[in-house]
Chain A
Amino acid sequence: MELLATSLLNGLTYGFLLFMLAAGLTLVFSLMGVMNFAHASLYMLGAYVGATVAAAWGFVAALLLAPLLVGLAGCALERWLLRPLHARGHVAELLFTFGLAFLIEEAVKLVWGAGSIDHRFPPALEGSLFSAFGTPYPAYKGFMVAVAVASLAGLYALVAHTRVGLVVRAALSHPQMVQNLGHDTDRVFMAVFGLGSALAALAGVVGGAALTTEPSMAAQLGTIVFVVVVIGGLGSITGAFLAAMGVGVLQTLLIAVDLRLSQWLPLSAWPALAAVAELKVSQLAPMTPYALMVAMLLARPRGLFGQREA
């Protein structure tokens, strides 16, 4: 029970981090049809810029400045690099962002070194927030969840309740009509891309402090975020939320299970499957998200809440 509770809490915390990334990615995808491979690289940039700013002016400054800087970089990226490619179709854009992710990783290694750097939460966030079944829940994790909830509530309010959000939602379904009505859809696209980048950077500032800030952090989280977006349904924020929580909880729960597959399934009947029977459930954890994604794409390509097929 205690194990279950702590795994659940950790899984939800991880899920919130995933969701911050997935929300931006799915929003950008639904507006522009761009599956941005460099999204996780922007998360990494956020972590590194955040660490540098935090070392100079403190953690709060990092929380504000890093998303701002990376968001501006995202706007520039959309305006000058992605927009000219748009006419050539989605595959060109996909290839371009794939190469860009590669370059950003090299650039980060160049500027900050190939190892991990020191990036931590301020001392005020040390200690525990509360205890569940005797296991303390660290305060910084609570802070992570708070940042995620606050930023995503802001995003929701912006999209659902403001005039700007109205234009964004209209541009989602009828970009040509919105343009004809005199709105500058190009600028809307750029702003949304920048917003997504800023969200990723914010996730990077907290995520980099909670996990480690290193050049491989983009690759580690990048494909998992893709998984979340695809399972949730491309373009659906609700779906991304549920999928992020699901994947986060599933991964942490599976790691905690100390059972062999042979204890559950009657695999001993087939000697050929001996290697499979010997597997521990916890060993399955790294591959479960991918298996889920492949199954989802094959069985229900729209994902949980997607409007259209991937």
Chain B
Amino acid sequence: MSVRRILPWAMVVLALMFAASAAGGFVVQLATQVLVLWCFGLSYQLLFGRTGLLSFGHAVSFGLAAFGTAHAVRSLAGVPVYELLPLAGAAVGLGCGVLLGYPVTRRSGIAFAMVTLGLGELVAACFLMFPGFFGGEAGVTLQRTRVPSMLGLDLGQGLPQLAVTAAWTLAVLGVVQGLARTPFGLATLAVRENAQRIEFLGFRTATVRWVSMLVASTLAGVAGALSALAYEIVTVDAVSMHMSANVLLMTVIGGLAHPLGPLVGALFLTVMQSVVSDWTRAWLFYYGFVFVVLVWLAPEGITGLWQAARRQRPSARTVATVLIFALLLVVFVETAYQLALGEPTRLPGWRHFGPVALQALLWSSGLAVAAMLVRGLRRSEAPA
């Protein structure tokens, strides 16, 4: 991969870091979270987007690598290798890929999805069985400052930690982008599109799937290590179905085909998780709703929508309909949550515009029903 190709990405990341450092602690934290999720999403894009393997257990390599890194930090106290710690995660991820990936990639399609679901649940069910490794309900905590930096960075601060995360994420991006251009990268696409034909041409599709899974698990391992180092705690949530679902939802929302997809998905999830969740209890509903609507109407995700909009500008009417629908949905959902939970939502602007919006919703839905009735009556009266 040429320098010219990675330069814009590096600038995006640098801009993110500058913005974060200017804005202070919370934003640095958010930026780290975005980078970790981006890294994880990139590995999933390789697996699902490029090779067509829908996995419901991708968090296995992520989570086991996170636990592995936590234990590595404990045993490497005092050794100045901090910047290389994600390699420990990569090793665990690679191990997962070799051991679990081999049998799993003998299958594809729905069967692959089912096996990964079973494996994910299997590993998650192990966490109470091995409290020594998983730390039981409390999880495993670590102190990243106990492993000194090779470059003399002060890792107690958020910004140097962000820089390490950014460097590793860029490396992962480079691997994914570079791999896409190799003959192997093209083979994964071909296996996704028509496995039978590729088999006929003399490729071993199972091997292509396995290698793809190896790389994806390794990169997910890097992401797991980065998350362990960033949060300094790893709980069972990291290997759970919940995490596997998150990476799936996030990557599909961002877009499976576009290189920016995982970044958009990571940004979306982070904003939902860390910002919108402070405003409203309905954030999970919105998250799921966006996913379902995108799967139904725009399977290429947000980046796909963006590309389509650039090819052909949507009419003002379409944009207005979507915006009005979204607004009505938010007003409706917020009102419902308020009524059900008995606590006011903290959505910005709700105090001033909420009641007005609610009235508008009632009136407009009443008018819409009336209009539909009138139209229906006219149609039934019209001569056949």
Chain A residues in the interface with B (C-beta under 8 A) = 35, 81, 84-85, 88, 90-92, 94-96, 98-100, 102-103, 106-107, 110-111, 113, 219, 223, 226-227, 230, 275, 279, 283-284, 286-287, 290-291, 293-294, 297-298, 301, 309-310
Contacts of A219 in B (CB 8 A): 241
* Residues A294 and B111 in contact, CB atoms below 8 Å apart: no
Q: Do the beta carbons of B114 and A99 come within 8 Å of each other?
A: no
Residue pair B336, A110 in contact (C-beta under 8 Å): yes
The prevalent SS among residues of A at the interface is helix
Nearest chain A residue, comparing its CB with the CB of B52: A91
Partner of A290, one of B103, B121, B248: B121
- Nearest-neighbour CB distance to chain A for B183, whole angstroms, equals 26
Most buried by A among B107, B126, B128, B292: B292
Contact with A along B221-243 (1 / 0, CB 8 A): 00000000000000000000100
Chain B residue with Cβ nearest A219: B241
B117 & A226 in contact (Cβ 8 Å cutoff): yes
Q: How far is the CA of A88 from the CA of B126 in the complex (A)?
A: 37
**Are B115 and A294 in contact, with the CB atoms below 8 A?**
yes
Give the distance in Å from the alpha carbon of A96 to the alpha carbon of B110 in the complex: 14
B25 close to chain A: CB less than 8 A: no
Report A102 CB to chain B, min CB distance, Å.
4
Contacts of B107 in A (CB 8 A): 297-298, 301, 310
Not counting A94-B113, A275-B133, A294-B118, a sample of 11 additional A-B residue pairs whose C-beta atoms are within 8 angstroms of each other reads A88-B299, A99-B288, A102-B292, A103-B288, A106-B285, A110-B285, A219-B241, A223-B118, A284-B129, A297-B115, A310-B114
Contact in complex: B295, A297 (CB < 8 Å): no
- List 9 A-B pairs, minimum CB-CB distance, nearest first: A287-B125, A99-B292, A102-B288, A310-B111, A290-B122, A293-B118, A106-B285, A286-B125, A290-B118
Q: Which residues on the B side are within 8 Å of A223 (C-beta)?
A: 117-118, 121, 241
User: Roughly how many angstroms separate A90 CA and B114 CA in the complex, as a whole number?
Assistant: 13
Q: Are B54 and A110 within 8 A (Cβ)?
A: no
A28 to B118, CA, bound (A): 21
B249 and A99: CB pair below 8 A? yes
Pull 5 A–B residue pairs with CB atoms less than 8 Å apart, ordered by A: A92-B299, A226-B117, A290-B121, A290-B122, A297-B107
Beta-carbon contact of A287 and B122 below 8 Å: yes
List of B residues within 8 angstroms of A298 by Cβ: 103, 106-107, 115
Are B299 and A297 interface neighbours, CB within 8 A?
no
Q: Chain B residues with Cβ under 8 A from A309's Cβ?
A: 111
List residues of B whose CB falls within 8 A of some A CB: 52, 54, 103, 106-107, 109-111, 113-115, 117-119, 121-122, 125-126, 128-130, 132-133, 241, 245, 248-249, 252, 282, 284-285, 288-289, 291-292, 295-296, 299, 336-337, 340
From B107, B114, B115, B291, residue with most partner A Cβ within 10 Å: B114
A275 partner residues in chain B, CB cutoff 8 A: 130, 132-133
A287: chain B residues at CB < 8 Å are 121-122, 125-126, 129
The answer on a CB contact under 8 Å between B103 and A230 is no
How far, in whole Å, are A98 and B106 apart by their CA atoms in the complex? Answer: 24
Q: How far is the CB of B47 from chain A (nearest CB, A)?
A: 13
Q: For residue A245, give the distance in angstroms from its CB to the closest CB of chain B.
A: 19
- B68 → chain A, closest Cβ, in Å? 15
**A92 with B295: CB separation less than 8 A:** yes
On whether A95 and B109 interact (CB within 8 A), knowing A103-B288, A111-B340, A286-B125, the answer reads no
Report the minimum CB–CB distance from A242 to chain B (whole Å). 18
Contacts of A284 in B (CB 8 A): 129
Contact across chains for A230 and B296 when beta carbons are under 8 A apart: no
- Given A95-B252, A96-B295, A96-B296, are A291 and B122 also a contact pair (CB < 8 Å)? yes
Given A103-B292, A226-B117: A35 and B111 interface contact (C-beta under 8 Å): no
List of B residues within 8 angstroms of A286 by Cβ? 125, 128
- The reply to whether A290 and B125 form a contact with Cβ atoms under 8 Å apart is yes
Q: How far apart sit A81 and B106, CA to CA, in the bound complex (Å)?
A: 32
Chain B, Cβ-Cβ closest to A298 = B103
Chain B: CB-nearest residue to A107: B285
- The residues of A that contact B295 with a CB separation of less than 8 Å are 85, 92, 95-96, 99
Chain A residues in 8 Å Cβ range of B296: 81, 84-85, 96
Docked complex Cα distance between A113 and B281 (Å): 12
Contact indicator B245/A94 (Cβ below 8 Å):
no
Whether B114 and A226, one on each chain, are in contact in the complex, defined by CB atoms closer than 8 angstroms, is yes
User: Are the CB atoms of B340 and A110 closer together than 8 Å?
Assistant: yes
Q: Are B291 and A99 in contact (CB under 8 A)?
A: yes
- With the chains together, A284 CA to B340 CA distance in Å? 40
Q: How far is the CB of B263 from chain A (nearest CB, A)?
A: 21
Question: In the assembled complex, which residues on chain A have CB atoms less than 8 Å from the CB atom of B103?
Answer: 294, 298
Measured CB to CB, the nearest residue on chain B to A81 is B296
**Which residue of chain B is the closest to A229 with respect to CB atoms?**
B114
Residues of chain B within 8 A (CB-CB) of A110 are 282, 285, 336-337, 340
Evaluate contact between B299 and A310: CB separation under 8 angstroms. Answer: no
Nearest-neighbour CB distance to chain B for A120, whole angstroms, equals 23
How far apart are A273's CB and chain B's nearest CB, in angstroms? 11
Residues of chain B with a CB closer than 8 A to A96's CB: 292, 295-296
Q: How far is the CA of A106 from the CA of B336 in the complex (A)?
A: 12
> Which B residue sits closest to A284, measured CB to CB?
B129
Are A103 and B289 CB-contacts (below 8 A) given A92-B295, A92-B299, A279-B129? yes
CA distance A161 to B306 in the complex (A): 54
Contact between A310 and B129, CB atoms less than 8 A apart: no
Contact of B288 among A90, A91, A106 (CB under 8 A): A106
Q: How far is the CA of A299 from the CA of B112 in the complex (A)?
A: 14
> Which residues of chain A come closer than 8 Å to B340, judged between CB atoms?
110-111, 113
C-alpha spacing A227/B288, complex, angstroms: 25
B111 — which chain A residues lie within 8 A by C-beta? 297, 301, 309-310
Contacts of B113 in A (CB 8 A): 35, 94
Closest to B284 in A: A106
CA distance A309 to B107 in the complex (A): 10
> Distance in Å from the Cβ of B226 to the closest Cβ of chain A?
26
